[in-house]
Amino acid sequence: MKFGALCHSYSRFETLSGNALRSALADFLKTVPTVDIKAVVYMTLGAIASDYDEINLGMADKMAIKAIALAAGKDEAKVSKEYKKKGDVGLVAESVCGTADGTLSVFDVFETLHLIATTSGTGSQEEKIRHFSGLLKKATPIEARYIGRLAVGKLRLGVAAKTVLDGLSLAYGIGKEKIEHAFNICPDIGIIAETVVGKGDDGISSIGVVVGRPVQMMLCQRVESLQEAIDKLGIPVAAEQKYDGERVQIHKDRKKVTLYSRRLENITSQFPELVKAASTNLNAASCIIEAEIMAVGKKGQLEPFQKLMSRRRKHGIEQMAKEIPAKAFCFELLYLNGKSLIKESYNTRYENLSSILRPNTSINLAQRVVCTDAKCIDALFKRVVGKCGEGVVIKSLRPDSDYQAGVRGWHWIKWKPEYSKGMQDTFDLAVIGAFRGRGRRSGRYGALLCAVYNKKTGKFESFCKLGSGFSDAELKSLSKKLTKSDSQPKNVVVLKQMTPDVWIQPTKVVEVLAAEITRSPFHAAGMKDGKGLALRFPRFLRWRDDKKAEQATTTKEISR
């Protein structure tokens, strides 16, 4: 397929949103041959591989400007001036490069972008510039625009993975839910698209769990009383300690162990002690287990979440592992010795899990009791909370208690102290904007505009203005932590009266404590009769760097 055809579609997608975008995308996807579909869907999302493959573009703008100047045979200072005016590497590339006649294929561009992303070591900067400028020399103006944006990781067409799934469903007449389910089991948009185009409905139905490929994690519902949990799940139930650490999926394939975070990032290098424990203390040739990682103190006590987050680093990992050792508390088994267990009941999965796990200082089973009434769950809850634990997760033991990948379903229910007091609750919100501070806060951001995620539309809807709970240091670092956007991102919905001073790319998630949800004329979340939903008295609690923006609290959850 010609890369030019893809670029012309991109320029059209930029002008569309909602259903019009979905149907234009579907019409286009129908024209893409099987050999190119994988590259096309990755690139449409501004990437060149699945999220968990860790092959990231994102060349620095300055380096891209160098390459553009080289390709165009122009003075770098002049091109740089042009960039300052336009603020978009793509537009600069389009205006100064692009003398070729349109022979580039999707394959050429995809391959070269891969080469740029994977070139490393000494002299790699020059190599990357050489590859990039070589590609630009072969491009037409419109191709140069999108190659430029792709190379710096700023394609931003407003197309999310969900839009592509919907587009595939429309184009190939396969049920949306079926495709979404397959994507939860195999969160690689390239594989999903290739399967839809190459093998159709049957292919999608047979997508299964594979060791080394993360599965979207199952999530919890919440209730207002323990009795309600029992009514929902029946008896008996398993009540487990809810550890306040980091969720991990451990993939063991003979000697190879890979750890994936809740965001499906590869975090293997961060926890060498867990890799070792999985190699030696899981008696299985291959398996996928899930656990919560906790930092453990000198006396064996469990440390707060923040302590564990300080393990997130690139250097000095072995030293940190000694200073703040981590331990995995396991509660799930998705796959064992060549067989997927996600359709089995929790009882079966747990029995297998406990039979293969030999506890040591780095790995153990999560604390658990099987209960037949609320009193029994409450006893575990009190024990956990008494030791500053987060609460409990109550799990169905019914024969139909399968592992529901990526679903916030009714097999798991969480119970935390704030629910039992019926007072406050926490929400994980995506930051979509910022307001400049005044008075003591002038010169920095004074408040953030936060949003819930609408899974149906793939958009972030404003839900509260967050100005309290920040420490001085936290306020100071806000502008560094957040990525500005020149204009309102296409996937963000805000009412005019709540337009922020600065738009933020929705990538960061913040945990917020609030008193209640009310109807408000200022926010766009869950709009009904001209009024949205808003949080009253929100307070900043902490950053949730373990979550992607799309894993924020959903519109559906707050509308219940």
Active-site positions?
242
Residue 248 Cβ vs ligand ATP, minimum distance, rounded to whole Å: 9
3-state secondary structure of 177: helix
**Which residue number, 331 or 453, has a Cβ lying nearer to ligand ATP?**
331
Cα distances from 275 to residues 74, 191, 305, 328, 359, in angstroms, run 51, 27, 20, 10, 14
Task: State the Cα–Cα distance between residues 136 and 146, nearest whole angstrom.
Answer: 10
Q: Which long-range contacts (CB under 8 A, 24 or more apart) does 296-304 make?
A: 296/324, 296/325, 296/326, 296/327, 296/361, 302/243, 302/245, 302/387, 302/388, 302/389, 304/244, 304/388
Q: Which of 13, 243, 271, 445 binds ligand ATP (CB under 6 A)?
A: 243
* Residue 292 contacts ligand ATP per CB under 6 A: yes
**Which residue number, 166 or 240, has a Cβ lying nearer to ligand ATP?**
240
Convert residues 381-410 into a mask of x (bound to ligand ATP by CB under 6 A) and - (unbound). Answer: ------------x-----------------
Number of chain positions touching ligand ATP (CB under 6 A)? 13
329-348 residues near ligand ATP, rule: CB under 6 A: 331
Residue 152 Cβ vs ligand ATP, minimum distance, rounded to whole Å: 32
502-541 residues near ligand ATP, rule: CB under 6 A: none
Whether 359 and 368 have beta carbons less than 8 Å apart is answered as no
Residue 184 Cβ vs ligand ATP, minimum distance, rounded to whole Å: 14
Of 171-179, 204-212, 238-246, 355-363, the segment contacting ligand ATP by CB under 6 A is 238-246
**Which residue number, 28 or 243, has a Cβ lying nearer to ligand ATP?**
243
| Gyration radius of the chain over CA positions | 25
Whether 327 and 371 have beta carbons less than 8 Å apart is answered as no
Q: Which of 247, 251, 327, 465 binds ligand ATP (CB under 6 A)?
A: 247
Of 188-196, 241-249, 399-407, 499-507, the segment contacting ligand ATP by CB under 6 A is 241-249
**Which residue number, 86 or 414, has a Cβ lying nearer to ligand ATP?**
414
Of 10-18, 31-39, 57-65, 239-247, the segment contacting ligand ATP by CB under 6 A is 239-247
Of 235-243, 379-387, 483-491, 523-531, the segment contacting ligand ATP by CB under 6 A is 235-243
Residue with tokens 């561009």: 109
Whether 284 and 337 have beta carbons less than 8 Å apart is answered as yes
**Which residue number, 271 or 331, has a Cβ lying nearer to ligand ATP?**
331
**Which residue number, 1 or 369, has a Cβ lying nearer to ligand ATP?**
369
Chain Cα centroid distance, residue 139: 33
**Which residue number, 241 or 505, has a Cβ lying nearer to ligand ATP?**
241
Of 25-33, 123-131, 237-245, 471-479, the segment contacting ligand ATP by CB under 6 A is 237-245
β-sheet bridge partners, residue 282: 357
153: left (phi over 0), alpha (psi -120 to 50) or beta: left
Residue 301 Cβ vs ligand ATP, minimum distance, rounded to whole Å: 17
Residue 412 Cβ vs ligand ATP, minimum distance, rounded to whole Å: 6
Using CA atoms of 513, 449, 547, 118 in order, give the dihedral in degrees to the nearest 10.
-160
Task: State the Cα–Cα distance between residues 397 and 53, nearest whole angstrom.
Answer: 34
Chain Cα centroid distance, residue 378: 33
| Full strand arrangement of the beta sheet holding 368-371 | 219-222, 408-415, 391-396, 237-242, 368-371
In degrees, rounded to 5, the angle at the alpha carbon of residue 496 between the alpha carbons of residues 427 and 45 is 65
Whether 49 and 145 have beta carbons less than 8 Å apart is answered as no
Whether 392 and 377 have beta carbons less than 8 Å apart is answered as yes
Residue 214 Cβ vs ligand ATP, minimum distance, rounded to whole Å: 14
Residue 210 Cβ vs ligand ATP, minimum distance, rounded to whole Å: 22
Residue 298 Cβ vs ligand ATP, minimum distance, rounded to whole Å: 23
Tell me what percent of the chain is helix, strand and coil, each rounded to the nearest 5: 40, 25, 35
Report DSSP state, residue 194. Answer: H
Convert residues 420-459 into a mask of x (bound to ligand ATP by CB under 6 A) and - (unbound). Answer: --------x-------------------------------
**Which residue number, 237 or 393, has a Cβ lying nearer to ligand ATP?**
393
Residue 451 Cβ vs ligand ATP, minimum distance, rounded to whole Å: 15
Count of residues in the chain: 560
Residue 368 Cβ vs ligand ATP, minimum distance, rounded to whole Å: 7
| Full strand arrangement of the beta sheet holding 525-528 | 516-520, 531-536, 525-528
Task: State the Cα–Cα distance between residues 309 and 246, nearest whole angstrom.
Answer: 8
Report DSSP state, residue 357. Answer: B
**Which residue number, 26 or 558, has a Cβ lying nearer to ligand ATP?**
558
**Which residue number, 220 or 527, has a Cβ lying nearer to ligand ATP?**
220
**Residues lying near ligand ATP in the complex (CB under 6 A):** 219-220, 240-243, 247, 292, 331, 366, 393, 414, 428
